[in-house]
Amino acid sequence: MTVKQKEDNNTIRTASFEVLKVLAETQQLIYAAHYDQNEIEGDPRKGWVKIGLIVDLSFLINQSVERRAQQLRQAWQDNWGIMADDRDATNKLINEIERVRSEIKSTLIALD
């Protein structure tokens, strides 16, 4: 493995761990909004910031994770306004988070 490959893998790992962390925070925000009806912890504006960070970091991982992150952003755009009251909207968002998480795990497993 070359020095460049090692550096690239390190960048992928670092970005992956950060995205996984922000995904968990986003999931917690969704649960707070829907199940707890907590407008402070479940503030959708905070969610927009987290989704933006996920998308921004995803390009450092790979194209498949970036595509999944874009799909998550679209799901957020479609559902953020109703997630507090709509179980289907909440489930759609959680499912998209799981898809991003799964793609990241696959990417990490495939690294040298």
Identify the pLDDT of residue 33. Answer: 98
CB under 8 A, 24+ apart: contacts of 92-95? 93/30, 94/27, 94/30
Identify the pLDDT of residue 12. Answer: 98
Contact in structure between 13 and 104 (CB atoms under 8 Å): no
Identify the pLDDT of residue 1. Answer: 82
Q: Amino acid letter at 43?
A: D
**50: containing domain:** 3-110
Q: What is the mean pLDDT of each run of 10 residues along the chain (112 residues)?
A: 92 98 98 97 97 98 98 98 98 98 97 82
Identify the pLDDT of residue 64. Answer: 98
Distance in angstroms between the alpha carbons of the first and the last residue of the chain: 8
- How many separate domains does the chain show? 1
Task: Give the CATH number, domain containing residue 66.
Answer: 1.20.120
What pTM was estimated for this model as a whole? Answer: 0.95
Residue whose entry in the numeric block shows the structure tokens 């991003």: 100
